[in-house]
Amino acid sequence: MATSHLFVCIILCTYYVAHGGDEHGGFATVLTSRSFQPEAAVCSTSRGGLLRCSRARANYITSQGTVTTLAADDGANVTIPAHLGGSVESLEYVVTVGLGTPAVPQVLLMDTGSDLSWVQCAPCNSTACYPQKDPLFDPSNSSTYAPIAGGGSQCAFAIEYGDGSHTRGVYSKETLTLGPGVTVRDFHFGCADDQDGSNGRYDGLLGLGGAPESLMSQISSARFLALGGAPPAGANTSGGFVFTPIRVEVATFCMVNLTGISVGGKQLDIPPAVFSKSKGMIIDSGTVITELPHTAYAALRSAFRGAMSAYPLILPPPNQGLGTCYNLTSFSNVTVPTVALTFDGGATMELDVPDGILLEGCLAFQESGPDDLFPGILGNVNQRTFEVLYDVSHGKVGFRAGAC
């Protein structure tokens, strides 16, 4: 991975920052009025399932031409506010950056699960591009835009994501403004004019994976990139974090090993062999719902249903892919078990109650597949209110609760 000296810190905040209830012995009571309303227009309603918002496992990226590493101003600390994409009808996290000269604001999906960034570019009609929040980015209006040429002709790019969507267009470079005074010259990205699949109304995607096409690699000389919050004052960036080793796979994915799950303060009885047999978990801000391998998911679901037996399950579940949903309309408050994920080395994430556990009244986990076939994915719902610090040079990732 090229980002050997870069710290990346991603803080995902929900709209509701305060804990709303009592915590007692592995359970927390929360008021339903606050906690179970959709926080953003859900991609599932019109596009057939939250699953389809998942972007992990980008299948391939084709782009010709070499990517030269370039500089944000040396030693710059970059902070970009991130927020849930409610304004762009997405349950994913977005950031606003400036593209071009003069800089035009662009609302981009933050995706640690893919690499090449792209925006929809003019000219593009309503058949080839989806409707977005802002006017299409118009390269002809920018004095710093250039297509990247290879062998005398423009390079094309094409990305197919794990959710079946694709984006294609012209591989390009442009000035990217991340914040006041922080610009990345010759930022390599895709100027897209051929889209297919589910998207919110965001203007494009910011690829934060580990491959050379990613923003991370392109600004690897910056010391600290904070998406969603400032680096903590005083600069002991490891204080308060619990760390677990990461490995980087297919250049893009940061993988961690899950070793245990607890529900309501009780460790689930999952044989260690299950975890060693599974392929680990991808940390992915671009995926909404966490996916666990079969045995781990089944144990979690069963314990969670047991702890929530006072509430009526909705069958069949309204949310495709989410098998455990409750009808909470007649309850003024709900007592939810805490859920904690433990990773290699003992690092434990106590998920936020309820925002890290329930999504619209459904257990915010799903099954990735057989234990030994697919890696799990740590999606953004469970990362909410956590600060996630990727310390790539030391091969570890840290989690810190209560970041919002």
Residues 340-379 that bind ligand NAG (CB under 6 A): 344
105 binds ligand NAG (CB under 6 A): no
Which residues are 177's β-sheet partners? Answer: 98, 183
Quick note: the x/- pattern for ligand NAG over 138-177, rule CB under 6 A, is x--x------------------------------------
| Cα–Cα distance measured from residue 121 to residue 138, given in angstroms and rounded to the nearest whole number | 6
Structure tokens, 143:
């004095």
Region near ligand NAG per CB under 6 A, out of 63-71, 106-114, 244-252, 383-391? 244-252
| Tokens 């009244």 belong to residue | 361
Structure tokens, 252:
């893009």
Gap between the terminal Cα atoms of the chain: 29
3-state secondary structure of 399: strand
330 binds ligand NAG (CB under 6 A): yes
Which residues are 390's β-sheet partners? Answer: 8, 397
Q: Given 3-state DSSP classes, what are the helix, strand and coil percentages for the chain, each rounded to the nearest 5?
A: 15, 40, 50
Is the bond preceding 316 in cis, omega lying within 30 degrees of 0?
A: yes
Structure tokens, 97:
């950056």
Residues 373-402 that bind ligand NAG (CB under 6 A): none
Residues 301-320 that bind ligand NAG (CB under 6 A): 314
135 binds ligand NAG (CB under 6 A): yes
Residues carrying an active site annotation: 111, 284
Region near ligand NAG per CB under 6 A, out of 47-55, 200-208, 239-247, 364-372? 239-247
Region near ligand NAG per CB under 6 A, out of 45-53, 242-250, 282-290, 354-362? 242-250
* Dihedral class, residue 84 (left if φ above 0, else alpha if ψ from -120 to 50, else beta): beta
Nearer to ligand NAG, 44 or 67 (CB): 44
Work out which of 276, 306, 313, 346 binds ligand NAG, going by CB under 6 A.
Answer: 276
373 near 300, Cβ under 8 Å? no
Torsions phi, psi for 50 (to 5 deg): -55, -35
> What single DSSP character describes residue 181?
T
Residue 212 CB-half CA count within 13 A: 9
| Cα–Cα distance measured from residue 79 to residue 252, given in angstroms and rounded to the nearest whole number | 22
Count of residues that bind ligand NAG according to CB under 6 A: 33
45 binds ligand NAG (CB under 6 A): no
Minimum CB distance to ligand NAG, residue 262 (Å) = 20
Work out which of 204, 231, 286, 375 binds ligand NAG, going by CB under 6 A.
Answer: 231
Minimum CB distance to ligand NAG, residue 395 (Å) = 8
29 binds ligand NAG (CB under 6 A): yes
Residues in contact with ligand NAG by the rule CB under 6 A: 29, 75-77, 125, 127-128, 135, 138, 141, 223-224, 231, 235-236, 238-239, 245-247, 255-257, 276, 280, 314, 327, 329-333, 344
